[in-house]
Amino acid sequence: RFETLAVHAGGHLDETTGAVAPPLHLSTTFGRDALGNPVAGHSYIRDSNPNQSSLETALAALEGGAAALAFSSGMGAASALLQALPAGAHVVLPEDLYYGVRAAARDYLSKWGMTWDAVPMHDLAALREALRPETRLVWLESPSNPLIGITDLAAATAIAHEKGARVVVDNTFATPVLQRPLDLGADVALHSTTKYMGGHSDVIGGALVFREAGLFHEEALHARHILGAVASPFASWLVLRGLRTLPVRVERQARTAHALATWLETHPRVEAVHYPGLPSHPGHEVAARQMSAFGAMLSFRVKGSREETLAVSARVALFTRATSLGGVESLLEHRATSEGPGSTTPENLLRVSVGLEHEDDLRADLDQALAG
């Protein structure tokens, strides 16, 4: 079962010392036998290393994939997947998407001889219309960043597959605890392991988990090997440690987020709450079908201007004003400011990553910040 895999996958008693916690192998190079073959499968740290391999075993088990690759960052994982596509490929992205991936498409895809379009991914007819014979990849993100939109993953995947395109789902917000894109037909699940998988705001990493260990996996592995976005041993060690407690953290954080979203929706100073667990969310029914709970990310719009919204954010005392998500501490962010020039995020939107503090303390902090 998932919780058991989370604790044990990729782990074993160290044979030389009996250590229960995994050893950290910092070696950059590995010995070969008299015939020139690597003694234990590893050769050079950029090809593979023991801590990265243990993490990959665990990631594949948790997402239910045939193979996993760990990367130096979520963007390293996203770039390697795009670099695995042939020149001339067309990519379909969702309009609401982690802004780094949108920036990567804007600044690099044409340099790499590719084209792309962005569609409102909740509109499956728009997706169908955007697909071309040369479309090689459909990018899905659900819940999406920062508007917490929902895409019907099974339906969008079926449409993409009909036209011969592969599908990647950025599963960073949901994690495999709450949503399993590969079981819904997707070809690849992507993670910024910097978030829930690391879980403590102290490590950067990324991952791709493949439903099948075929050509796509090999091309992404080749991109990582040659272009170099490997996970360091210590980063791999920290992410694997984070995975051990992933289910308990995410389940509790999602429960608290659901309670806070329900309360925020009734607050007189709140214009709207974006949280898929609320029946008012347009993607609520789809989310209820494809997620076991609704996640620990929410955003809300303050009734008022950019300045009034920034004033609310300035008053929080328990929430930390910071970007990123998925750690044990709750974070609050004026997303348009973090995204900077070119951001399309509404100026009255605050994004919240709900941590492991007590629900009542978090509610009280938001209440005093909203009361001004």
Q: Give the binding site for ligand PLP (CB under 6 A).
A: 73-75, 98, 100, 141, 145, 170, 172-173, 192, 194, 204, 206
Of 94, 150, 99, 97, give the one whose Cα is nearest residue 127: 94
Q: Which is nearer to ligand PLP, 245 or 324 (CB)?
A: 324
Give the C-alpha separation, 146 to 99, whole Å.
Answer: 9
Residue 300 C-beta: closest distance to ligand PLP, Å: 18
User: What are the beta bridge partners of residue 192?
Assistant: 206
Q: Which is nearer to ligand PLP, 98 or 294 (CB)?
A: 98
Residue 358 C-beta: closest distance to ligand PLP, Å: 25
Of 24, 344, 68, 55, give the one whose Cα is nearest residue 211: 68
Give the C-alpha separation, 320 to 330, whole Å.
Answer: 6
Give the C-alpha separation, 312 to 194, whole Å.
Answer: 27
Q: Which is nearer to ligand PLP, 100 or 120 (CB)?
A: 100
Give the C-alpha separation, 355 to 134, whole Å.
Answer: 42
Residue 133 C-beta: closest distance to ligand PLP, Å: 28
- Which residue of this chain has its Cβ atom nearest to ligand PLP in the complex? 74
Phi, psi of 266 (to 5 degrees): -95, 0
Q: Which is nearer to ligand PLP, 172 or 232 (CB)?
A: 172
Residue 173 C-beta: closest distance to ligand PLP, Å: 6
Torsion, Cα 277 282 288 294, to 10 degrees, reads: -30
Q: Are 119 and 144 in contact (CB under 8 A)?
A: no
Residue 132 C-beta: closest distance to ligand PLP, Å: 25
Residue 145 C-beta: closest distance to ligand PLP, Å: 4
Span between the terminal Cα atoms of the chain, in Å: 47
Q: Are 72 and 235 in contact (CB under 8 A)?
A: yes
Catalytic annotation, residues:
46, 98, 170, 195
Q: Which is nearer to ligand PLP, 50 or 326 (CB)?
A: 326
Q: Which is nearer to ligand PLP, 286 or 325 (CB)?
A: 325
